[in-house]
């Protein structure tokens, strides 16, 4: 019998601590996602840059690591298409 089952655990802060560690350590042990992100960012900028003119600073990468899945959110801002002197073809 597991000792833990003697004391039914509510949503204690200790339980929260354990879960946070489990999720974090699973990610840390599994691989080195974080190490590859700068390279990933460079590649994304390069690939998109082949097709669209983007500013390398206008890329925003966010991550949210979860127990079942993680999400990587990549936002790229385009400069407003309002070049005042550009010839317009109305």
Partner 1 sequence: MTAELKKERPMGRIVTITSGKGGVGKTTSSAAIGAALAKRGLKTVVIDFDVGLRNLDMIMGCERRVVFDFINVIQGDAKLKQALIRDKRLDTLYVLPTSQTRDKDSLTLEGVEAVLEELRGEFDYILCDSPAGIERGAQLAMHFADEAVVVTNPEVSSVRDSDRVLGLLNSRTKRAETEGAEPVKAQVLLTRYDAARVGKGEMMTVEDVLEILAVPLLGIVPESQAVLKASNVGMPVVLDAPSAAGAAYEDAVSRLLGEEVEMRLAGERRPGIFQRLFGRGA
Q: Which residues bind partner 1 (CB under 8 A)?
A: 13-14, 16-17, 20, 23-24, 28, 32, 34-35, 37-38, 41, 57, 59-66
**What's the min distance (Å) between Cβ of 86 and partner 1?**
28
Is the Cβ of residue 39 or residue 81 nearer to partner 1 in the bound state? 39
48 close to 76: Cβ distance less than 8 angstroms: yes
**What's the min distance (Å) between Cβ of 90 and partner 1?**
38
Is the Cβ of residue 68 or residue 83 nearer to partner 1 in the bound state? 68
Beta bridge partners of 62: 73
Is the Cβ of residue 23 or residue 54 nearer to partner 1 in the bound state? 23
Ramachandran quadrant class, 42 (left: phi over 0; alpha: psi -120 to 50; beta: rest): alpha
Interatomic CA distance for residues 48 and 2, integer angstroms: 54
Cβ-based neighbours of 33, under 8 Å, separated by 6 or more: 27, 63
**What's the min distance (Å) between Cβ of 4 and partner 1?**
17
């Amino acid at each position: 019998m597991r000792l833990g089952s003697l004391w039914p655990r509510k949503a204690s802060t200790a339980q929260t601590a354990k879960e946070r560690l489990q999720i974090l350590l699973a990610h840390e042990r599994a691989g080195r996602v974080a190490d590859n992100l700068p390279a990933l960012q460079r590649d994304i900028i390069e690939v998109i840059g082949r097709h669209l003119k983007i500013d390398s600073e206008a890329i925003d990468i966010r991550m949210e690591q979860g127990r079942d899945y993680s999400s990587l959110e990549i936002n790229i801002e385009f400069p407003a298409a309002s070049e005042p002197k550009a010839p317009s073809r109305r």
